[in-house]
Amino acid sequence: MATILNGKELAATLRAEQTEEIRKLAPLAGRPPGLGVILVGDDPASHAYVKNKRNACKEAGIHAPEINLPHDTTRETVMEWVDKLNADPRIDGILVQLPLPPHIPKDDILLRIDPEKDVDGFHPINVGRLVIGEDTLVPCTPTGVMTLLSRYGIPVKGKKAVVLGRSLIVGKPMALLLLAADATVTICHSKTANLSEETRQADILVAALGKPLMITKDFVKKGAVVIDVGISRNDKGKLVGDVDFDSVEPIASAITPVPGGVGPMTIATLLENTLKAYKKRNHLS
């Protein structure tokens, strides 16, 4: 039976560590860390995500003001709010919740964020730093995956890793982080020929395609570590991932559940990135 990589439990442990670190650092900085959140529109999933992030920030002692804007907010108004947060000395990280309404160009908004406050790690400057191997703010989901592997003592060095998906949010940074940890990395995507042949080579398989239950046991080598980043709802409203857990779990050596695997680690890493930016801006170790 596979080891269940319980992201929910690990995220709780990380939050406890973050809370203690903030308790010690806040008197030195004269304030707690600050995370400014901009939410545009009424997307239920976005509001749910922001609520979870708000609760996690409150638990850890992070100041997290929210700017809630209506769906018909203009691009210029969102830019103005980003500028205010960039200039606010109490704010160390800025999160613009995606997706934005179609009339607001996402790239324009993300480019406006100060790279030193870009706790999502999406700014081209931070992407470039990641590519060349500089220490920087890295997207939360792939960083959370690396933390999960590390805390569970799963070796990466010298392993064959296959990443399914090539998005800027997960797939590409995931591959770069695995490469930096000395794995041999293959990126697969919707146009990859003979996909199952590629995935069956993986010691570590990261599924981030957004295709529910696509990865069955036929795609997985016996003893592989399987990380399921996908999350969606099936016809019955149940949350499922990209991996068919029931068929894969008996042959994997370790696997993340959905829910309760990678998702909580993403929020824990958002807090960690905020704390990292806070320490850098306040010259704290």
Show me where the domains of the chain are located.
30-117, 140-262
From the list 18, 92, 97, 203, the catalytic residue is 97
* pLDDT of 194: 95
* pLDDT of 186: 98
* H/E element, 53: helix 44-60
**Residue numbering of the annotated binding site:** 165-167, 231
From the list 18, 53, 92, 118, the catalytic residue is 53
* pLDDT of 263: 94
Q: Do domains 30-117 and 140-262 have the same CATH topology?
A: yes
In tens digits, what is the pLDDT along the chain, a chain of 285 residues? 899 999 999 999 999 999 999 999 999 999 999 999 999 999 888 998 899 999 999 999 999 999 999 999 999 999 999 999 999 999 999 999 999 999 999 999 999 999 999 999 999 999 999 999 999 999 999 999 999 999 999 999 999 999 999 999 999 999 999 999 999 999 999 899 999 999 999 999 999 999 999 999 999 999 999 999 999 888 888 889 999 999 999 999 999 999 999 999 999 999 999 999 999 999 997
120 is catalytic: yes
Decide: 86 and 117 in contact? Cβ < 8 Å: yes
From the list 18, 92, 118, 120, the catalytic residue is 120
**Alpha-carbon separation of residue 181 from 19, 119, 147, 160 (angstroms):** 28, 21, 12, 11
Tokens of 199: 């995935």
97 is catalytic: yes
53 is catalytic: yes
* pLDDT of 237: 81
What CA–CA distance (Å, rounded) separates 200 from 218?
8
Q: Which amino acid is at 226?
A: V
* pLDDT of 233: 85
- Radius of gyration of the chain measured on its C-alpha atoms: 19
Q: Which amino acid is at 62?
A: I
* pLDDT of 176: 98
In 56-194, DSSP assigns E strands to 66-69, 93-96, 160-164, 184-188
CATH code of 140-262, in short, is 3.40.50.720
What CA–CA distance (Å, rounded) separates 136 from 158?
24
pTM: 0.95
* pLDDT of 140: 97
Tokens of 64: 């997290």
Give, in words, the CATH class of 30-117.
alpha beta
**Residue numbering of the annotated binding site for NADP(+):** 165-167, 231
* pLDDT of 236: 83
